[in-house]
Structure 1
Amino acid sequence: MAGLRLLTLLASVALLLCFFPSCSVSSASYGTVTSAYVHAQSDTEGPLHTTNHVKRYGSGAPYWMSQIPRQGKVVYGTNSSYPVWRNVKDYGAKGDGVTDDTDAINNATFAGGRCQYPCESQTTAPAIVYFPPGTYAISRPLVMLYYTQFIGDANSLPVILGLPNFYGIALLDSDPYLPYGLSWYANQNNMWRQVRNFVLDIRQIPKGTAHCLHWQVAQGTSLQNIVFEMTEGGDNNKQMGIFMDNGSALYLEDLIFNGGGVGFFSGNQQFTCRNLTFNNCQTAIYQNWNWLFAYKDIVINNAKIGIDMTQGGDVITTGSISLQDATMNNVEIGVLTTFSGNSTPASAGTLLLDNVNFVNTPVAVQLSPSNATILEGNQKIASWAQGRVYTAYESSYEENNLTCYGPAAKFDRVQQLVEPPPKSPSLLTPDGSFYTRSRPQYEGVPVENFISIKTYGCAGDGVTDDTACVQSFLNSIRTDQIAYIDYGAYVIRDTINFPIPIKVQGELWPYFMVDGSAPKFSDQNNPQVAFRVGQPGQVGDIELVEIMFQTLGAAPGAILMEWNLAQSSPGSAAMFDVHWRVGGTNGTKLQSYNCRKTPNVPTSPKAECYGAFLLLHLTRSSSMYMANNWGWVSDHEMDLADHDQINLYNGRGVLVESQGPVWMLGTSFEHSMLYNYQIASAKEIYISAIQSETAYMQNNPNAISPYPPLSNWNDPTFSDCFTVNCPKTWGLRIFNSTYIFAYGAGMYSFFNNYDSGCLATTNCQQKMVSVEQSQGIYLYAVNTVGSSNLVTVDQVDLVPAISNANGFADTVAIFEYP
């Protein structure tokens, strides 16, 4: 039976709803370090006190990305000559460290009539802006337009150098400001961005006038392998490495911050931030606001403050932070907080410390402004929490001479050491940290080892049936080669099997379009796999990098991806920056012209507006590592001028049945009908910061109207629902599972039939997380929006939103069912 796992609880209460009883007559990742330009280290040397930072560049050898023939074409646009790839030196940039390259680089970015203000979004004019080695001096921001990748040479990092006369918010600007608090792009819709392989240097700029990067973005974005060089020390040093003031994003990794007033000024709805090193920053991380941030593999060296979460004072603006597998070396104050008995809202400022080592750091957690020490430093903390905590257990009582059982919970608001969870060894490294690895960039692979799918003969034109060609191409790839998917749209009408082993690298998220007009993918009562990774029981290696899976029209019988493969070694079966996007864009036949929202009339699902049966299925035999993955059923039009909201009916998000290990870092599944995340009959799953949204049109129709539950798929039946706001998308459903570890979850229900008035009463949805027939469940920093209840166990609501208010969201620091 479950027991109370917190070390001390000042109060507890059992929550038991007796009308749902059970009665009986008896009872390694490789990251990056700074370049030789910065610290003159050898190619194999890493700086002191870093985690998973090994040099990945410095050879100066040609980088395959600069040499591979560019054959990618936009297929659903109107400009057949549009250049997807552009090298900044082809547009006049010198990279000599002296010439002002601002205009040349911005010209490279803007060429081709791309999406700039007042354009809201556009998928038909994407671009890779490539920077060869060199030092690019600039005097104004480099503006990253919608659907843009800035990529530097990974074998010799280019430097973006701010000149002394630099004027603007940052060297790189993802979302320029306009007057009256406006910006070019709505921050929550500023999608599809990437910045990799740079040194951003602002040391020549006066200390109070600019930052390295303004990163106000949403999902489908990432940062990797960037060094932020700022002036060290000094009074009134206002330089920042990253200035992030808003957005709704998922993932960044492998960053180094040197100097500055603040390394990372952090404000966004949710994020997983992995493998960050801070050297000589006055404040490493300033958490301006959030709903949830998961910081993983963080190293902070020589700082006054490690993490500052004092914004708002006693009315705290930080929602929740989990800090995992981190080290602070020679830091005056590890974490500065205003969380206290008097702070509001009750759950604001939630903080989890999990395997955090404070070395020569006398104060681990300090209360501001009193400077009282809450947690002593100079020790390794296995588990510590501040916030609301719940421990569920099975309660029993007597009724009519029967012993009845039902779930209950003990809870309290704490600021203390707590007992760590029993982490599954299969998920851990030898030192006890959760295993992680970086997205591969294949720096040392010669260009001749990349085999182009278009050179092989596949059309990728968005019309031709490429099924046989794609399968033949994948089968032709040798183990020393990498399958290169040129940008385009490859139509698939039958199952594609990835041969094992294989590595597949996409260019700018090329599309694999699953054609719903194919009979194989049309019957939701007989779903079929579109892309299969491994056969059941197979063990081997695969890497999928930067690919987009979509439907071409309604495909209600399509399982877009089935993953059967088990890894041969930790992280060897993996995918990075792989996404599933249903509708909302040119070519999908699921747009505003035929699937516009209908909130003012009773709505029956239109057959032409169905998505897929299931986006991703991790089967019982699978194990895998995934990072920065988004399964998005589009809620609005992205290409047509109206940008209106749309009704699309996708059955299910991700179904996890794996027996482990599975690592899911920085993932999001949104707007499916029955559930976004379901973990069923599974075990040994690690999650870092998941995010979901309930389908906006629900309850018109409700969750089961387009996709009646199927028992052989362990679908939720919503049989306990008695109110109209109950049969809605489960954000997370855990069924018959154990040893599930989730560090950060943000699950949001913003509408009831497109009406956001329900937010005022937190009644857009009745329930959000369901735990059924499961134990060994450890959920940290659980956040919901618009749901009356955060967590339900075996149909009993145990965690009400009204008791766990946290600004816009509602939060519990810990929910555990040991």
Structure 2
Amino acid sequence: MAQLNIITVVLAAALLLLPSTAIPTASGPQPRQAATYSDYWLANIERQGSVAYGNDASYQVFRNVKDFGAVGDGTTDDFEAINKTMWDGNRCGLGCDSSTLTPALVYFPPGTYRISQPIVMPYYTQMVGDALDVPTISALPSFEGIALVDSDPYIQGVSNPDGSGINYWTNQNNFYRQFRNFILDITALPEVNPVSGYGAACLHWQVAQATSVQNIVFNMLPKSKTNKQQGIFMDNGSGGLMVDLVFNGGGTGAFLGNQQFTTRNWTFNGVSTAIYMNWNWLWTFKSLTINDADIGIDMSGLTNGVNQTVGSVLVLDSSITNSAVGIKTSHNASSLPVTGGTLALQNVDFTNTPIAIAGADGVSQVAAGNDMISFFAQGDSITQADTNATETEESCSTTCSLSADTLQTAAVQSALTGPTIGDSLLNSDGAVFERSKPQYEDVPASSFVSVKSAGAKGDGSTDDSDIIQQVLDNVESGQIVYFDHGAYVVTKTINVPKNVKITGEIWPLIMASGSFFSDETQPQPVFRVGSPGDTGNVEISELVFETLGTAPGAIMIEWNLAGETPGSAGMWDAHVRIGSTAGTKLQQDTCLGATADTQTFNANCVGSFLMLHVTQTASAYFENTWFWTADHELDLAGHNKTNIYNGRGVLIESQGPVWLYGTSSEHSQFYNYQVSNAKDIFMALIQTETPYMQSAPDALSGGFTPNLAYSDPEFADCSTETCKKAWGLRVIDSSDVTVWGAGLYSFFENYNQDCLLTESCQENIVDLQCATNVGLIGLTTKGTTNMVTIDGQPAALQQDHKNSFGSTLVLFEV
């Protein structure tokens, strides 16, 4: 979550399209009837969720839009009923920057819901359509507004001095949202709004971390030269994940602008421009299927006709077929900045698309089409000319050096030999394996085992450890453990046996508490998934792991299990959040961040030892997981900055395979990601931030001592305080590690941003030691002198690879 005031390119039309948004006063629903209209478990399970730290015992977490009067008959205007469903219970809207105390899981049964105004999603909302018979949200001909569904409305009649709009929620802090299982239809609307001159959109999605869109169909009018309709309009944010989307027709399938994002399995049919990339820092596209487009991806935007607006676009395992132009770019030898418009392609099919990559005029050919491109790179690359490295006989981890003479730097815009991805990471077609979050469409409600029904309280104070363990130990084959919304305090390790599936009701909290987790010299797991050597199938989704007070000896998740098959052991839409929320005892009233240059370590604000440990015997799949040490308050008024000291982010020691899609790890003291003694690891895309308070204290003075058993960095070679800061990514004593997109950011020196003038807030951010067959595709760093070091020696300098934001390498390979 970036705190910078970055000037971005935003459509001024957003303000013209937005009507006043009606937010009703609290109005309870009709008495809930048994759901006879669907067999989907989510519609029928007993609802016992409650907000442990809220102040309204009657607050309703689960809402069915039909209980609030929606009809869904394809004729009735259901806007008012849906709006009541969204906002009942004094929820977080205009004037409330964030709150975890008013969550809502809003369910749409099968039907067609016609609306005349945008549906606005309050903060901490999951909009979920029936997964067995997906509902449709359709615009009435009288519809007025920016989009059918709006995640961050513009305030009507208000704008910034530069003309850009002002939203309900700070875009880069717009966390914790889901939107899944819907058909969005704007075919009843004209190609162009005759008043504004712009077309309507299906979804306005301006979001940040811990957000997801899944299983959506966007129906628009057929493409034409005059059609300006859009499937997705995204203008800002700091995300995020979107998967399994289908776009039919339209002028622009997806109009995109965000700091960083991961998108997977998108299909476009008959769209004029499938993807218009307005701006970004970096973006990873995986498994795109674009058919019958005029332009597949347009990333050619310029400001003042000179400067590139797009940082980088990365496309993997995709196809752009039967289209006029695959990708349109304005990058060339004289581009400003020099790495603006960085582009990487691997395994992309351009069958019956005559121009794979075109210049800014849309005609000149950068790369020919009608063929498969194995690997293409556009930007700055650093690769190894000589694979020989010198090592001591005692230990590779002690000394391993790679001479600068063995690296070669080049500005490229051509086909190259790309990094090799380990066979264990691939599917039977040779593409990198992927798997969407399970929604258990075929499992009846009777097969879900509620922990509250078993006796757990989830009240934020009672110790629920033993009951949770009993449920996990006794669950039968075919059953799924269900955490009703609540806060479940645990005071000992919870052992998750192999072959158990777990899901939750809009992110229930697992809260580590007590002396068992207090000793950093004897760290203990909170959730232990499998035992070392176990092989089986475990699925975890929709949970949040926190500490209740300080827990310097807590390993929040220890993953030992190896999946029986690819992706059978995994975690989706589950997050680790340290501090900032009600009940954690690590909020701004205790852990307030001081003004710049005045920080001192506070032992009352120590978080966990380690957020995620993927051990040597494990293999696992992680998607849309956010490992966040909170930098600001989410619940108390003022939402001030916080100083919380968390030891480590994500540690991977697995021998593979391990997949990470759309993950972020922020603000831990020693490192955010570390791959140690591991192999066959795939990451697409990762994002990190260095703790804002560093280097006061520095990494060695933030409450934790390096532990060699966990291969911690010791910063022994540092001669400056800006060197002793959290690593964004370390790869040590490891091989076959591929990163498809990394945004590693350092914005502050002890809350002071003067260091950004020289991009020197931090000395180093990527550490490679004894690393072989490592490919970093689309590496973007910010505020760090050295982009990459090898065995402590600079291997890439930020000043040599400037982008519109930070510095970028299309490829770094050793």
TM-score exceeds 0.5 = yes
Q: Shift in Å at residue 811 of structure 1? A: 0.4
Aligned residues of 1:407 and 1:793 also touching (Cα < 8 A): no
Q: Do structure 1's residue 692 and structure 2's residue 669 form an aligned pair?
A: no
Q: Shift in Å at residue 604 of structure 1? A: 3.8
Q: Shift in Å at residue 526 of structure 1? A: 1.4
Give the 3-state SS of the residue equivalent to 1:359 in structure 2.
coil
Amino acid at match of 1:770: D
Aligned to 2:184: 200
Q: Do structure 1's residue 812 and structure 2's residue 789 form an aligned pair?
A: no
Which of 80, 99, 102 is the aligned partner of 2:76? Answer: 99
Aligned to 2:23: none
Task: Provide the C-alpha distance between the structure 2 equivalents of 1:350 and 1:390, rounded to a whole number of angstroms.
Answer: 14
Which of 414, 417, 420 is the aligned partner of 1:416? Answer: 414
Deviations along 1:269-293, whole A, 9 cap, x unmatched? 1111000000000010000011111
Amino acid at match of 2:445: V
Aligned to 1:786: 783
Amino acid at match of 1:380: M
Task: Provide the C-alpha distance between the structure 2 equivalents of 1:528 and 1:392, rounded to a whole number of angstroms.
Answer: 40
Q: Shift in Å at residue 378 of structure 1? A: 0.7
Task: Provide the C-alpha distance between the structure 2 equivalents of 1:404 and 1:427, rounded to a whole number of angstroms.
Answer: 28
Aligned to 1:772: 769
Task: Provide the C-alpha distance between the structure 1 equivalents of 2:639 and 2:129, rounded to a whole number of angstroms.
Answer: 33
Aligned residues of 1:383 and 1:420 also touching (Cα < 8 A): yes
Task: Provide the C-alpha distance between the structure 2 equivalents of 1:493 and 1:208, rounded to a whole number of angstroms.
Answer: 59
Aligned to 1:707: 704
Q: Indicate the percent of aligned positions where both proteins have the same amino acid.
A: 49
What is the root-mean-square deviation of aligned Cα atoms in Å? 1.6
Task: Provide the C-alpha distance between the structure 1 equivalents of 2:104 and 2:760, rounded to a whole number of angstroms.
Answer: 42
Q: How does 1:340-739 map to 2 (within 5 A)?
A: 340-369=332-361, 371-392=363-384, 406-408=403-405, 409-515=407-513, 518-599=514-595, 603-705=599-701, 706-739=703-736
Task: Provide the C-alpha distance between the structure 2 equivalents of 1:251 and 1:196, rounded to a whole number of angstroms.
Answer: 12
Amino acid at match of 2:94: Y
Which of 154, 171, 174 is the aligned partner of 1:187? Answer: 171
Task: Provide the C-alpha distance between the structure 2 equivalents of 1:375 and 1:490, rounded to a whole number of angstroms.
Answer: 55
Aligned to 2:225: 235
Report the number of matched residues.
753
Task: Provide the C-alpha distance between the structure 1 equivalents of 2:121 and 2:240, rounded to a whole number of angstroms.
Answer: 18
TM-score normalised by length of structure 1: 0.91
Task: Provide the C-alpha distance between the structure 2 equivalents of 1:207 and 1:118, rounded to a whole number of angstroms.
Answer: 34
Task: Provide the C-alpha distance between the structure 2 equivalents of 1:566 and 1:260, rounded to a whole number of angstroms.
Answer: 44
Aligned residues of 1:524 and 1:557 also touching (Cα < 8 A): yes
Give the 3-state SS of the residue equivalent to 1:520 in structure 2.
helix
Q: Shift in Å at residue 359 of structure 1? A: 1.2
Task: Provide the C-alpha distance between the structure 2 equivalents of 1:355 and 1:659, rounded to a whole number of angstroms.
Answer: 25
Aligned to 1:111: 88
Give the 3-state SS of the residue equivalent to 2:647 in structure 1.
strand
Q: Shift in Å at residue 397 of structure 1? A: 13
Deviations along 1:222-278, whole A, 9 cap, x unmatched? 000000000012332110000011000021100000000000111111111000000
Aligned residues of 1:407 and 1:794 also touching (Cα < 8 A): no
Give the 3-state SS of the residue equivalent to 1:781 in structure 2.
strand
TM-score normalised by length of structure 2: 0.91
Q: Do structure 1's residue 338 and structure 2's residue 322 form an aligned pair?
A: no
Give the 3-state SS of the residue equivalent to 1:585 in structure 2.
coil
Task: Provide the C-alpha distance between the structure 1 equivalents of 2:104 and 2:38, rounded to a whole number of angstroms.
Answer: 25
Aligned residues of 1:421 and 1:778 also touching (Cα < 8 A): yes
Q: Shift in Å at residue 757 of structure 1? A: 1.9
Task: Provide the C-alpha distance between the structure 2 equivalents of 1:314 and 1:277, rounded to a whole number of angstroms.
Answer: 32
Deviations along 1:749-772, whole A, 9 cap, x unmatched? 111111122112101111110101
Task: Provide the C-alpha distance between the structure 1 equivalents of 2:597 and 2:692, rounded to a whole number of angstroms.
Answer: 15
Distance change >3 Å, CA 137–CA 404, structure 1 → 2: closer
Give the 3-state SS of the residue equivalent to 1:65 in structure 2.
helix
Q: Shift in Å at residue 708 of structure 1? A: 1.9
Task: Provide the C-alpha distance between the structure 1 equivalents of 2:91 and 2:263, rounded to a whole number of angstroms.
Answer: 30
Q: Do structure 1's residue 80 and structure 2's residue 77 form an aligned pair?
A: no
Q: Do structure 1's residue 291 and structure 2's residue 281 form an aligned pair?
A: yes
Task: Provide the C-alpha distance between the structure 2 equivalents of 1:790 and 1:350, rounded to a whole number of angstroms.
Answer: 16
Q: Shift in Å at residue 368 of structure 1? A: 1.3
Aligned residues of 1:622 and 1:660 also touching (Cα < 8 A): yes
Q: Do structure 1's residue 272 and structure 2's residue 262 form an aligned pair?
A: yes
Deviations along 1:168-217, whole A, 9 cap, x unmatched? 10000000012112110000000100001000000001112311000000
Give the 3-state SS of the residue equivalent to 1:182 in structure 2.
strand
Task: Provide the C-alpha distance between the structure 2 equivalents of 1:455 and 1:393, rounded to a whole number of angstroms.
Answer: 62
Task: Provide the C-alpha distance between the structure 2 equivalents of 1:556 and 1:530, rounded to a whole number of angstroms.
Answer: 12
Aligned residues of 1:531 and 1:561 also touching (Cα < 8 A): yes
Which of 313, 317, 334 is the aligned partner of 1:325? Answer: 317
Task: Provide the C-alpha distance between the structure 2 equivalents of 1:458 and 1:712, rounded to a whole number of angstroms.
Answer: 35
Aligned to 2:118: 141
Q: Do structure 1's residue 259 and structure 2's residue 249 form an aligned pair?
A: yes
Aligned residues of 2:38 and 2:109 also touching (Cα < 8 A): no
Amino acid at match of 2:177: R
Q: Shift in Å at residue 572 of structure 1? A: 0.7
Aligned to 2:238: 248
**Which stretch of the first structure deviates more once superposed, 591-600 or 331-340?**
591-600
Q: Shift in Å at residue 429 of structure 1? A: 1.1
Task: Provide the C-alpha distance between the structure 2 equivalents of 1:397 and 1:381, rounded to a whole number of angstroms.
Answer: 31
Task: Provide the C-alpha distance between the structure 2 equivalents of 1:759 and 1:203, rounded to a whole number of angstroms.
Answer: 47
Task: Provide the C-alpha distance between the structure 1 equivalents of 2:596 and 2:419, rounded to a whole number of angstroms.
Answer: 48
Task: Provide the C-alpha distance between the structure 2 equivalents of 1:640 and 1:103, rounded to a whole number of angstroms.
Answer: 30
Task: Provide the C-alpha distance between the structure 2 equivalents of 1:271 and 1:381, rounded to a whole number of angstroms.
Answer: 23
Distance change >3 Å, CA 405–CA 564, structure 1 → 2: closer
Aligned residues of 1:599 and 1:700 also touching (Cα < 8 A): no
Structure 2 gap segments, 5+ residues each: 1-35, 160-164, 194-199, 391-399
Task: Provide the C-alpha distance between the structure 2 equivalents of 1:67 and 1:397, rounded to a whole number of angstroms.
Answer: 61
Which of 19, 26, 46 is the aligned partner of 1:69? Answer: 46
Deviations along 1:118-145, whole A, 9 cap, x unmatched? 1111110010111111111001100001
Distance change >3 Å, CA 523–CA 158, structure 1 → 2: same
Distance change >3 Å, CA 82–CA 411, structure 1 → 2: same
Q: Shift in Å at residue 599 of structure 1? A: 3.8
Amino acid at match of 1:425: D
Task: Provide the C-alpha distance between the structure 2 equivalents of 1:423 and 1:217, rounded to a whole number of angstroms.
Answer: 31
Aligned to 1:155: 132
Aligned residues of 1:314 and 1:342 also touching (Cα < 8 A): no
Aligned residues of 2:207 and 2:240 also touching (Cα < 8 A): no
Distance change >3 Å, CA 514–CA 370, structure 1 → 2: closer
Distance change >3 Å, CA 569–CA 60, structure 1 → 2: farther
Give the 3-state SS of the residue equivalent to 2:757 in structure 1.
helix
Q: Shift in Å at residue 301 of structure 1? A: 0.8
Deviations along 1:499-558, whole A, 9 cap, x unmatched? 11111111101000001xx22110111111111001111111100011110000000011
Task: Provide the C-alpha distance between the structure 1 equivalents of 2:230 and 2:37, rounded to a whole number of angstroms.
Answer: 29
